[in-house]
Structure 1
Amino acid sequence: MEIFDVTVNGSGFDPEYNFNNYALTLVFKDCKAETEKTVRANLRYYPTEKEWDLNPIFYEYTKDEKQTMIDQIIESENFKSAFEAKTNNLEG
């Protein structure tokens, strides 16, 4: 399955742990089976390490599957515009 659509529902910077967090809705499409699956996930970017971490909610994926998804997400125009925008600090 490939990511068909990426929606950034919100983002913020956590100064305590030094990461940007992006709340995402991912729509996967399986062209062969003509099915879709919607997955909510948090994508974290650690600017000091230039490292990404993806945490899907309610689904488990292997490290390689997560890396493939991260690669697709960061190439998405919807995500690029959110990533390049000024990020607010997370509170709480």
Structure 2
Amino acid sequence: MLSKDTLFALSLFPYLGFLWFLTRSGQTPRLALIGFYGTLVFVGVTIPAGIYAKMVYHDTLANIDWLHGGAEIFLTLSNILVVLGFRQAVISKQSSR
């Protein structure tokens, strides 16, 4: 059985493929695409935050509220950008009718 850490690392490859196809298609709203790439920033922040939580607090990231919340802000911002990007595209499409 694979550990959760291994599964987390392996999940990056399909996501990178997803980003590659989205970028290549040229059909994804720019702001939404930035949001999808922002998810990688979230991952990049979460990994060191998890290591810090383990080394300093001897606990998992999920149990250190201020650290976990700080990392989750990046995911929230990414999600907001995705939503705003697609919202902007829908409004633009509706106004061009």
Same fold by TM-score greater than 0.5: no
Task: Identify the structure with bigger relative contact order (alpha carbons < 8 Å, sequence gap 6+).
Answer: 2
Going by fraction, where is strand more abundant, 1 or 2? 1
Larger radius of gyration between Structure 1 and Structure 2 = 2
Q: TM-score, normalised by structure 2?
A: 0.24
Q: TM-score, normalised by structure 1?
A: 0.25
